[in-house]
Amino acid sequence: MIARAALRSSLRAAKAPSPLAQLGARRGYAEAVSDKLKLSFILPHEEEQQTHDRMRCSESRKHAAWKDWQSWRWNAWGAVDAVVQVTLNSSSQLDGSEEEEEQHGMPLASESTANAIYNSTEVTQVNIAASTGDMGILASHVPSVEELRPGVLEVVESSGTKKWFVSGGFATVHPNNKLVVNAIEAYPLDNFSTEAVRSALSEAQRVASSSSSAEAKAEAEIEIEVYTALQAALGRS
């Protein structure tokens, strides 16, 4: 009897949707197509930039957080050069005016103005290359966390699109119309040469198949993944 009860309980648990599955539900495009985003796209914080007034914490806490961040970047990708951070806030968070807060739009602004490369532009949609597949982010999107694979971050405006290539990271959609994208590296897609990417990919493949050290081969495998995705992105652009 105990075994049967346990079996029935496990079957009911298997059928019930998990909280993460419910969190991952997506709004349809038609439900949110009229919404707007306001986008800021910035390069990473440097250590000395951690002192700006938005970070209300002690010097020791900031230093510890920076060391943890550097350690994570090194362990994940080795030596990396840049972080892209995109944050969507309400209008009241942008200018301090609650009266001007928009209910349907999604204003997008950075948490830091340092090294901004894309500021305060209303956009229709932000497309990301998630590990689960390509997806579009609109205002009022359901809260979710998505791991990014090497691929294109595309900003859709009424006048056209802008594209950056990111090597990986995470995108977090918060309940208050806030999107944060932390990417390890990001560069405008049109900055890349198809021939240079092809040459770099060939070299990485050569190292991966050679008698190099295990560390060199591991680095080459990462390069192959990134260059392959970049080559595909350039082919579609």
pLDDT at 200: 92
Which tens digits make up the pLDDT trace of 12-63?
544 545 443 444 444 444 444 445 555 555 545 443 444 444 544 545 555 5
Assess if residue 216 is contained within a domain.
Answer: yes
Which one, of 74, 80, 71, lies nearest residue 44 by Cα?
A: 80
206: confidence class by pLDDT, cuts 50, 70, 90: very high
Q: Is 180 found in the same domain as 123?
A: yes
Q: Is 199 found in the same domain as 175?
A: no
Which tens digits make up the pLDDT trace of 140-177?
788 889 998 989 988 877 788 888 888 888 888 777 66
pLDDT at 139 over 50: yes
Quick one: DSSP state of residue 88? B
69: confidence class by pLDDT, cuts 50, 70, 90: very low
* Residue 168, domain extent: 115-191
Q: Is 173 found in the same domain as 200?
A: no
Assess if residue 41 is contained within a domain.
Answer: no
pLDDT at 82: 36
Q: Is 201 found in the same domain as 175?
A: no
> In angstroms, rounded to a whole number, what is the distance separating the alpha carbons of residues 102 and 203?
50
Assess if residue 226 is contained within a domain.
Answer: yes
Assess if residue 177 is contained within a domain.
Answer: yes
Quick one: DSSP state of residue 149? P
Residue 217 tokens read as 């081969």
Q: Please check whether residue 152 is in contact with residue 130, taking contact to mean a CB–CB distance below 8 angstroms.
A: no
Which tens digits make up the pLDDT trace of 85-122?
344 332 333 333 333 334 344 444 334 334 455 655 56
Assess if residue 127 is contained within a domain.
Answer: yes
Amino acid (1-letter code) at residue 177: N
